[in-house]
């Protein structure tokens, strides 16, 4: 919330408004005022202009008489940043920002948006309905302390906070036996630190987790998309109530932030000093953290701040690159532990830091593959440690290191949303209005007085009650207060328990034991938090049904287009139809969606065996063709078996040994032999097939330049990205510092590929008699580009794809067989290269190849191609198989006709085949889309709707987009 300079007259108006307007609006308010109020409520994101506030001030002052204040109003004065302030952009990355005084900001306007009341009740923003991915509603304004019989709020034990986020800090990284946080563990043992495992709800992505930590609420699934759209501004928290906004409103010091620039996008114009770093340059382990640490010593000497946010990204980057078992992981943990030691020493020796609270936490964890975004135990179990010498007065210490926990639940488990109300009591500010978290009872001993304990929990409960009543209008304060477990709904049960708590609440200065009531209200807080966090979104069923109707219409049209092909070859089409049917049914089971790769692995193997059997029936036993078919089929199946073991994926076995992450790390030289063979294969294909209009020597020179540029970039990239997989001999090539940056090397590679691509297209128009070399050239260029965009450990799998494609091209496959084979191999290759239906499997390691800054289009395209490398390869390979079929069909068709019509007829036959293939592919795409949409609609209240079915819907969209862009 921005603090702009305000004139004295404006302050007078605000004071008048505070004293006269807050409370129920008179029933006699005229119709114009009511209409205006309703219009404001209906706005999805109210951004009141200054003149609107002044108008309301004038009208309210004129029309309102003596208005009694609401006795239990939580918000007596609420402030919200206006639209103009909310649009202020975050500072440039890696650029420190200094703000001194108010002169620089005097030109900015700040508006105050006060709560609206109708019939004595606070008017809240209505729940919005936006189809399947709606924004969740929130209460506007900034919470204020309400007057209670217990007197003023309890005195806060701390006046400064250092909030240190280590991205992807899984709980065992801090608490386990193999942890590098030895100093932090010593603080836990001595009692100077309180350890917790903070449960992070899905989606376990940085932006929604920061929202949950700062607001205390549960973010929406749509934040997953906004997290990747760095330029998005609709995700700002500038107009929402957070503990950062509360501390800024409280005053007492400046706010500073160093690290992940997500904080600057979420909280524009909040921080007085800041140095932001992009979180998506995942190849950087060191510099990204040094940019944060270099500010720490200086800031620890300054006494002008009360809030310091540090967000370290290096550990998360290591996880994305090499997983939690990377040799870089322990050194990075020790580095972070050193920062904790440095801050703790300053807290002990510096007088201004005596009452400072240091919080060490992760925004999320990581799975065994080093990724996050889903709901696996490792992803949802980040560490949370409260550190201060003052904690020794209430804590005797805990055992360290903690005993290994397979589910990563070390010590006590709290919700990440519990941080907001706990900070409110520890630092002395009201709980943010949209908070769903509960105060952590372990800190209650800071207040020996029962009166203070009661007040802290009561304020927290009343704040959550406001959210519950806004969400469930049927929630009633009056009613029975017994047999709560027998009530029909969770809301009624919660209301019943609330009445019990209200009746048994200790009065002010009442001298009796409050332990039992503390247990009651703590349980109520947790139950209310669970109920609100699990509340299903308010779906707009009309929009969902409309979307389903459009998808169904598309399926019917695709059926009409594909029908003739299917019914004229019904026997050949049966496997294709069976796969489509089984895939659609599978979408309604969460376990099958999580482990979908098994379906495609099994179906592909069965289909390849079926092709072998069908081929044997067409050849005579014991002939040369029969033996060649046997060898051909065995090699294809053998390659398929290796491909399935390349990357472990899914949920249950994602961390099991595989070829890419286990075998290659134990046989590094063998791995690089395979990489060399892959690039040599691409080179020889270029020389032999791709440049027929050049002399052999010229083709060799062009191919060598292309492949050398690609290999040079890949070696340098792997040296920076995953040096642990490079033997010393290979490092001597990859680590050769020629002064050329990775961005420049990537651009050279892309530019060379693009030039050859354009030249090939231009020359194809003047040599249209034999377009096959053009198609081969484009396919080979695409393969080289895909190798550049793939992880190094996935490059040899492209060689297996090429071998399978070559062997399949020698078989006389029909159109339906080609389409079925393409469908199976596209999906199999997606999972074999490490993909899954979890957000956590999205690979960002190659998203910035050749990009020096964030460009949403370039990064989006590169991210898409690096994650859908296998399907894109087989989409291109399918075109080559169709060209082979065209050649066979043309030869058979034209053997009885005039040779002069060969070229025209060949093009016509080719176009007809391709249209039939597209019709079949569209039939499967639309059928699968109908099934996925139907599953998401029917199971919209399912426990795993946001962790399983919603990501599957997004991945289905990605696969369909690939078909539209590449397939056509």
Split at pLDDT 50, 70, 90, the class of 966 is low
pLDDT at 17: 38
The Cα angle at residue 436 between residues 453 and 259, in degrees rounded to 5: 100
Split at pLDDT 50, 70, 90, the class of 24 is very low
pLDDT at 479: 67
Question: What would the DSSP string read from start to end of 156-192?
Answer: PS-SEEEEEEETT-BHHHHHSTT-S-HHHHHHHHHTS
pLDDT at 220: 62
The per-residue pLDDT of the chain, averaged, comes to: 80
User: What six digits make up the tokens of 398?
Assistant: 């805990």
Give the residue from 141, 14, 15, 1 showing the smallest Cα distance to 78: 141
Q: Which range is least confidently modeled, 157-166, 428-437, 480-489, 649-658? A: 480-489
Split at pLDDT 50, 70, 90, the class of 193 is very high
pLDDT at 100: 36
Angle at which helices 570-586 and 902-938 cross, to 10°: 30
pLDDT at 530: 82
CB-side exposure of 676: number of CA atoms within 13 Å?
7
pLDDT at 583: 95
Domain ranges across the chain: 8-118, 170-225+236-534, 541-965
Alpha-carbon distance of 292 to 94, in angstroms, equals 10
pLDDT at 942: 72
Alpha-carbon distance of 435 to 437, in angstroms, equals 6
Alpha-carbon distance of 122 to 111, in angstroms, equals 20
Split at pLDDT 50, 70, 90, the class of 904 is low
Whole-angstrom distance between the N-terminal and C-terminal Cα of the chain? 49
The string of pLDDT tens digits covering residues 342-380 is 999 999 999 999 999 999 999 999 988 788 887 788 999
pLDDT at 74: 38
Give the residue from 130, 932, 957 showing the smallest Cα distance to 552: 932
Mean pLDDT calculated for residue range 296-308: 95
The answer to whether residues 217 and 431 touch, using CB atoms and an 8 Å cutoff, is no
Judging by DSSP bridges, how do beta strands 273-277 and 254-260 pair with one another?
parallel
Contacts of 792 (CB under 8 A, 6+ apart): 675, 714, 717, 718, 721, 722, 725
| Whole-number Cα distances in Å, 266 to 83, 634, 769 | 14, 56, 58
The Cα angle at residue 424 between residues 421 and 430, in degrees rounded to 5: 95
Alpha-carbon distance of 928 to 956, in angstroms, equals 8
The string of pLDDT tens digits covering residues 238-256 is 888 999 999 999 988 999 9
pLDDT at 742: 85
The answer to whether residues 454 and 514 touch, using CB atoms and an 8 Å cutoff, is yes
Query: What contacts 24+ positions apart, CB below 8 Å, involve 180-183?
Result: 180/329, 180/330, 180/331, 180/332, 180/333, 180/334, 180/336, 180/337, 181/333, 181/334, 181/336, 181/337, 181/340, 182/334, 182/337, 183/337, 183/338, 183/340, 183/341, 183/344
Most confident of 76-80, 350-354, 515-519: 350-354
pLDDT at 78: 37
Helix or strand holding residue 553 (H, E) = helix 541-568
CA 325 to chain centre: 22
Alpha-carbon distance of 108 to 20, in angstroms, equals 27
pLDDT at 14: 43
Check: pTM over 0.85? Answer yes or no: no
CB-side exposure of 181: number of CA atoms within 13 Å?
28
b/e 495-528 (16+ beta carbons within 10 angstroms → b): bbbbbbbeeebbeeeeeeebeebbebbbebbebb
pLDDT over 80 (residue 577): yes
Alpha-carbon distance of 780 to 876, in angstroms, equals 9
CATH dotted code for 170-225+236-534:
3.40.720.10
Three-class DSSP labels, 14-64: HHHHHHHCCCCCCCCCCHHHHHHHHHHHHCCCCCCCHHHHHHHHHHHHHHC
What would you report as the CA-atom Rg of the chain, rounded to the nearest whole angstrom?
A: 32
Split at pLDDT 50, 70, 90, the class of 92 is very low
Most confident of 55-59, 385-389, 464-468: 385-389
Split at pLDDT 50, 70, 90, the class of 53 is very low
Mean pLDDT calculated for residue range 318-341: 90
Q: Which range is least confidently modeled, 527-531, 651-655, 769-773? A: 769-773
Q: Which range is least confidently modeled, 217-221, 582-586, 612-616? A: 217-221
pLDDT over 50 (residue 431): yes
The answer to whether residues 725 and 718 touch, using CB atoms and an 8 Å cutoff, is yes
pLDDT at 730: 84
Mean pLDDT calculated for residue range 659-672: 91
| Whole-number Cα distances in Å, 433 to 72, 242, 251, 363, 488 | 14, 8, 19, 21, 28
User: What six digits make up the tokens of 204?
Assistant: 């376990």
Alpha-carbon distance of 675 to 682, in angstroms, equals 11
The string of pLDDT tens digits covering residues 910-963 is 678 889 999 999 999 999 999 999 988 888 777 677 778 888 888 888 887 776
Most confident of 233-237, 519-523, 828-832: 828-832
The Cα angle at residue 323 between residues 319 and 325, in degrees rounded to 5: 115
pLDDT at 521: 92
Alpha-carbon distance of 307 to 263, in angstroms, equals 13
Alpha-carbon distance of 949 to 586, in angstroms, equals 11
SS3 592: helix
Question: Furthest-apart CA pair in the chain: how many Å?
Answer: 109
Give the residue from 26, 121, 97, 11 showing the smallest Cα distance to 57: 11
User: What six digits make up the tokens of 163?
Assistant: 């909030």
Q: Which residue has the higher pLDDT, 119 or 808?
A: 808
Judging by DSSP bridges, how do beta strands 193-199 and 412-415 pair with one another?
parallel
pLDDT over 60 (residue 776): yes
Split at pLDDT 50, 70, 90, the class of 184 is very high
Mean pLDDT calculated for residue range 99-117: 37
The answer to whether residues 366 and 158 touch, using CB atoms and an 8 Å cutoff, is no
Most confident of 185-199, 713-727, 950-964: 185-199
Split at pLDDT 50, 70, 90, the class of 301 is very high
| Whole-number Cα distances in Å, 694 to 511, 690, 759, 760 | 98, 9, 12, 12
Q: How many percent of the chain have pLDDT more than 70?
A: 78
User: What six digits make up the tokens of 522?
Assistant: 């703590």
Tell whether the torsion through CA atoms of 918, 920, 922 and 924 is positive or negative.
negative
Alpha-carbon distance of 792 to 736, in angstroms, equals 18
Contacts of 737 (CB under 8 A, 6+ apart): none
pLDDT over 90 (residue 709): yes
Split at pLDDT 50, 70, 90, the class of 535 is low
């Amino acid at each position: 919330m921005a603090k702009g300079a305000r004139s004295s007259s404006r302050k007078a108006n605000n004071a008048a408004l505070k004293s006269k307007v807050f409370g129920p609006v008179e029933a006699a308010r005229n119709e114009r005022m009511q209409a205006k109020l309703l219009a404001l409520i209906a706005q999805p994101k109210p951004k009141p202009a200054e003149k609107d506030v002044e108008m309301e001030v004038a009208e309210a002052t004129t029309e309102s008489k003596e208005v009694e204040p609401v006795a239990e109003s939580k918000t007596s004065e609420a402030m919200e940043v206006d639209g103009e302030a909310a649009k202020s952009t975050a500072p440039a990355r890696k650029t420190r920002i200094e703000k001194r005084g108010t002169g620089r900001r005097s030109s900015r306007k700040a508006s105050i948006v006060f709560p609206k009341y109708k019939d004595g009740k606070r008017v809240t923003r209505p729940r919005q309905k936006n189809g399947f991915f709606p924004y969740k509603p929130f209460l506007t304004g900034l919470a204020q302390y309400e007057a209670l019989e217990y007197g003023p709020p309890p005195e806060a034990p701390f006046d400064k906070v250092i909030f240190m986020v280590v991205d992807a800090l899984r709980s065992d990284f801090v608490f386990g036996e193999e942890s590098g946080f030895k100093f932090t563990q010593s603080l836990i043992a001595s009692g100077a630190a309180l350890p917790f495992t903070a449960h992070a709800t899905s989606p376990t992505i940085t932006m929604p987790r920061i929202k949950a930590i700062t607001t205390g609420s549960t973010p929406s699934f749509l934040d997953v998309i906004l997290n990747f759209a760095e330029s998005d501004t609709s995700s700002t928290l500038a107009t929402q109530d957070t503990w950062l906004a509360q501390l800024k409103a409280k005053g007492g010091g400046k706010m500073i932030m160093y690290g992940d620039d997500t904080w600057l996008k979420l909280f524009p114009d909040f921080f007085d000093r800041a140095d932001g770093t992009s979180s998506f340059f995942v190849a950087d382990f060191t510099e990204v953290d040094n940019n944060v640490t270099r500010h720490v010593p200086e800031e620890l000497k300054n006494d002008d701040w009360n809030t310091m946010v540090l967000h370290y990204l290096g550990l998360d980057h290591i996880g994305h690159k090499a997983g939690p078992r990377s040799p870089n992981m322990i050194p990075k943990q020790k580095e972070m532990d050193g920062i904790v030691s440095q801050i703790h020493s300053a807290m002990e020796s510096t007088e201004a830091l005596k009452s400072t609270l240091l919080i060490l936490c992760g925004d999320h964890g990581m799975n065994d593959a080093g990724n996050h975004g889903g709901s696996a135990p490792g992803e949802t179990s980040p560490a949370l440690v409260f550190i201060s010498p003052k904690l020794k007065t209430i804590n005797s210490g805990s055992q360290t290191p903690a005993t290994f926990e397979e589910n990563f639940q070390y010590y006590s488990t709290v919700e990440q949303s519990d941080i907001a109300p706990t900070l409110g009591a520890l630092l002395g500010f009201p709980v943010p209005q949209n908070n769903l978290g509960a105060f952590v009872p372990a800190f209650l001993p800071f207040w020996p007085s029962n009166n203070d304990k009661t007040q802290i929990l009561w304020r927290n409960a009343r704040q959550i009650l406001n959210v519950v009543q806004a969400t469930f209008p049927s929630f009633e304060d009056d009613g029975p207060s017994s047999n709560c477990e027998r009530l029909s709904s969770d809301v009624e049960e919660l209301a019943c328990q609330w009445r019990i708590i209200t009746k048994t609440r200790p009065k002010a200065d009442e001298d009796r034991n409050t332990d039992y009531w503390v247990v009651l209200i703590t349980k109520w807080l947790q139950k209310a938090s669970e109920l609100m966090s699990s509340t299903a979104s308010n779906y707009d069923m009309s929009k969902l049904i409309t979307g389903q109707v459009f998808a169904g219409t598309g399926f019917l049209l695709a059926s009409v287009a594909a029908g003739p092909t299917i019914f004229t070859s019904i026997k050949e089409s049966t496997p294709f139809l069976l796969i489509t049917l089984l895939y659609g049914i599978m979408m309604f089971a969460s376990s099958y969606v999580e482990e979908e790769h098994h379906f495609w692995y099994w179906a592909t193997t069965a289909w390849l065996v079926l092709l072998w059997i069908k081929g044997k029936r067409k050849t005579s036993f014991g002939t040369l063709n029969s033996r060649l078919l046997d060898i051909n089929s065995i090699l294809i199946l053998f390659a398929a078996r290796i491909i399935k073991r390349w990357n472990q994926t899914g949920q249950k076995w994602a961390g099991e040994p595989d070829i890419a992450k286990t075998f290659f790390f134990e046989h590094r030289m063998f791995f690089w032999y395979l990489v060399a063979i892959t690039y040599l294969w691409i080179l020889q294909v270029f020389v032999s097939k791709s440049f027929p209009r050049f002399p052999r020597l010229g083709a060799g020179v062009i191919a060598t330049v292309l492949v050398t540029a690609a290999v040079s970039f890949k070696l340098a990239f792997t040296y920076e990205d995953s040096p642990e997989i490079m033997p010393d001999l290979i490092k001597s090539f990859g680590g050769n510092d020629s002064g050329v940056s990775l961005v420049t090397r990537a651009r050279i590679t892309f530019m060379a590929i693009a030039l050859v691509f354009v030249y090939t297209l231009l020359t194809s128009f003047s040599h249209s008699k034999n377009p096959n070399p053009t198609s081969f050239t484009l396919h080979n260029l695409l393969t080289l580009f895909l190798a550049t965009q793939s992880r190094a450990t996935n490059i040899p799998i492209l060689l297996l794809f090429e071998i399978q494609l070559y062997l399949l091209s020698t078989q006389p496959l029909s159109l339906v067989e080609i389409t079925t084979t393409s469908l199976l191999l596209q999906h199999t290759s997606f999972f074999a290269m490490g993909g899954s239906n979890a957000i956590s499997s999205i690979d960002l390691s190659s998203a910035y190849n050749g990009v020096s800054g964030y460009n949403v289009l370039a990064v989006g395209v590169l991210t898409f191609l690096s994650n859908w490398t296998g399907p894109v390869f087989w989409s291109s390979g399918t075109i080559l198989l169709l060209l082979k079929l065209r050649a066979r069909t043309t030869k058979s068709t034209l053997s009885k006709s005039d040779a002069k019509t060969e070229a025209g007829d060949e093009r016509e036959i080719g176009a007809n085949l391709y249209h039939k293939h597209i019709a079949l592919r569209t039939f499967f795409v639309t059928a699968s889309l109908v099934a996925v949409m139907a599953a998401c609609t029917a199971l919209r209240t399912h426990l795993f709707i946001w962790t399983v079915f919603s990501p599957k819907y997004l991945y289905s969209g990605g696969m369909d987009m690939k078909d539209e862009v590449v397939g056509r």
